[in-house]
Amino acid sequence: MAAKFILFFLIIFLSIAVNMPDSMIARMGFDANYLLAALAAVAITGLIVHRRLLLVVLVIISTIGANLPVAVADQLGLDRDILVASLIALVVIPYVAGKVEMK
């Protein structure tokens, strides 16, 4: 219970801190890049703790990436075929694993 509260507090604190003006962040003695990296680390940790939410977020990100226009995907260095394959795997593997566990 305490770990969830601490994780929730860190996410809120870091989200607010990252969105402050750069001058205010500098006065507090932080670097915006480090705050953003810490926010990403805490958010990923929270998603891993709640695996179902992580799966939903991964499916959403893969869907967005797979539906990007070709020019944008090439500019970002993404291969749409790999994103479609990962999306299929993200949907099929948990379904198959659930069916295997039932038997």
56 and 95 housed in the same domain:
yes
Q: Total domain count for the chain?
A: 2
Pairwise CA distance, residues 38 & 40, whole Å:
5
Claim: this prediction has a pTM higher than 0.85: no
37 and 67 housed in the same domain:
no
14 and 25 housed in the same domain:
yes
Query: Which domain covers residue 100, as residue numbers?
Result: 50-103
Walk along the chain (103 residues) and give the pLDDT tens digit of each residue: 677 777 777 778 777 877 888 788 788 887 777 877 887 777 777 776 777 777 778 888 888 888 888 888 889 888 888 888 888 888 888 778 777 876 6
75 and 26 housed in the same domain:
no
60 and 96 housed in the same domain:
yes
28 and 3 housed in the same domain:
yes
